[in-house]
Amino acid sequence: MTVTVVYDNSEATELCAAQHLYLKPIAKLLINILLPGSLEPVRPFSNWEVLDQLNSLICPDQFTTVRLSKSTKDFIQLEGEAETRSLVQILKAKLHGKIIKLNGLKKHLKVVATDAQGEWEHFPKEKEPSLSDGAEEQEKSPDSVYFEELTCKWFAPKGSSKEKPCEEILWVVFESFGKIKNVDILMLGPYREVMTDRSFGGFSFGLQTFEAFIQMKLMLKGNDGKALACNIKVTSDTTKHFSEGAIRRRNQERLKLQELEEERKKEKKREEEVAESHSEKEISRKRKDDEQKVRVKRKKARVRRQALKERDRHQHRKQKPKAKAEAPQEPDSSEEWEERKYLVAQR
């Protein structure tokens, strides 16, 4: 899916004004470069050289996109897309019947330009027995269409932070083509990707896309006046997506997946409970270990304090007699003391 900026939206028609959605005609041109059978190039040439010559022929006009669709020994086919159908006719007039000259080639290349009209793919009609007594068969055409690469953001509710498409908006947008019986956005099914083993969404140029069961170009007009356009793939559904049998099978598979999911949730809960029980036991064991370590540490500290006290007492007992021996003797009476002071004074 390629998103392009639209500079000329004059040919767009309103699809859903509430969502700012419009339909833009597909404006494509098939460009065939005829290669002579006796072509003997002096040097090899690339498709880019041919494209440069084509751009010079249509200048100042230009294609929105150009891609190589086919290349054989007889011709090179390019598919160019323009902004409008009227511009396609101008480009066609500039290119059809023109000659391309490439350096090193003896013969020139002729350009044939034709309109590329998008067509619905044709599917064989299925026959379904009627309910009448005559057992006559009646033809039945596919009753739904399949959309690919729709942009999620364009079909999301306004102001929503999530870029998920909304079935109601898809219903309103495409109901302008006629009454809709059913809508199914594949990516919204919670088990659809598991049931089918494939993804129903993707990304292109930063925009998420989705698929839905409901040949045109979709355009979005912004509030700032700018517009974006993208191609979407639409094919008739031949898989009977909305048949009773298909819906019943999907519902049965969905129920099975729901049961499996419930069982997984229960198993996960049991594992969490076991893990939590083990965790509680581990916490209790660790707490007991910590308490034991604290008791041992306290006991060691108590023993150390007692040893220090015992050492201090032992040292005190050894120092006490010495202190008594060194202490000066005091006089026995006050008279002796007075006499001693008198002698000291005389000296």
Domains and CATH numbers, the chain: 27-116 (3.30.70.330)
Q: Which residues contact 248 (CB under 8 A, 6 or more apart)?
A: none
User: pLDDT 10s per residue in the chain (347 long)?
Assistant: 567 788 888 888 888 888 888 888 888 898 998 887 654 555 567 888 888 889 999 999 989 888 888 888 888 889 998 888 899 999 999 999 999 888 777 778 889 998 875 443 444 444 444 444 443 334 454 556 777 778 888 888 877 777 788 888 888 888 777 667 677 787 776 544 444 444 445 555 456 777 776 546 678 888 888 888 876 666 767 777 777 788 788 888 888 888 888 888 999 988 888 888 888 888 888 888 888 898 898 888 888 888 888 888 888 777 766 555 555 555 555 777 788 888 888 87
Give the whole-angstrom CA distance, residue 288 versus residue 193.
51
DSSP string over 263-304: HHHHHHHHHHHHHHHHHHHHHHHHHHHHHHHHHHHHHHHHHH
The pLDDT value recorded for residue 208 is 75
Q: Which residues contact 68 (CB under 8 A, 6 or more apart)?
A: 47, 76, 77, 78, 79
pLDDT at res. 94: 92
* In the block, residue with structure tokens 């598979």: 253
Q: What is the rounded CA–CA span in Å between residue 197 and residue 199?
A: 7
* Max Cα–Cα distance, the chain, nearest Å: 166
pLDDT at 93 (0 to 100): 92
ω into 124 cis (within 30 of 0): no
Is-contact 199 213, C-beta < 8 A? Answer: no
Q: Which residue has the tokens 């013969």?
A: 107
Cβ count within 10 A of residue 283: 10
Residue 231 burial by CB count (10 A; 0-12/13-18/19+): exposed, middle or buried? buried
As beta bridge partners, residue 204 has 207
